Amino acid sequence: MRIKEPDGSIAVSAPYIIPETEVIRFIRSKRPWIDKNRAAIIERAAAYPEPETRAEKEARRRDLKRRIAERLPYIEDVTGLRCSGWTVRDMKTRWGSCNTVTKHINLSLMLALRSDIELDYVILHELVHTVVPDHGKDFYAMMDRYMPGWKQIRKELRTK
């Protein structure tokens, strides 16, 4: 289950063998979590509306590209992880993505509104995917090695 930005809609995925009554029971059991986090997402969206003009959006894109160009080489040097290139994309449902074959990473324009530590987390997350394609124990071990406080940063990224 996840809450989508920016509108706060709820998406639930479950295997087909799980009865609908179980899915509904699960959703109801998570109601306090849903209410709290949905309100935070909607509030954040109201605080950071889409730019009113194309020029403002492009300015935000330029600023994010500058930040990435400053931070990515440092993170690559510290970790020894490398990407073949990167792109800023206007993604609405994810902070980043990685093509594990080409090792090219995409970073969401939404990161322009986030702190440097949150940007660093997403960059590292995608760089780790250049060598570990899934979210298994090896992935989390590398995240722990290079950014011990990543879990708290991820939590903040998801809830504020």
CA separation for the pair 94, 21 (Å, rounded): 29
Domain boundaries 54-159, CATH class: alpha beta
Give the model's pLDDT for residue 48.
Answer: 64
Domain-by-domain residue ranges, the chain?
A: 2-47, 54-159
* Residue from 32, 130, 134 nearest 86 by CA: 130
Looking at the predicted structure, is the pLDDT value of residue 5 above 70? yes
Looking at the predicted structure, is the pLDDT value of residue 132 above 90? yes
Do you find a cis peptide bond into 6, omega within 30 degrees of 0?
yes
Give the model's pLDDT for residue 11.
Answer: 87
Mean pLDDT of 93-106: 95
CA separation for the pair 16, 65 (Å, rounded): 42
For the stretch 25-72, pLDDT in tens is 999 999 988 888 888 887 777 766 665 688 888 999 999 999 999 999
As given in the structure block, the two tokens for residue 30 are 């998570």
Alpha-carbon radius of gyration of the chain: 17
Give the model's pLDDT for residue 47.
Answer: 65
CA separation for the pair 31, 102 (Å, rounded): 41
86 has which bridge partners? 105
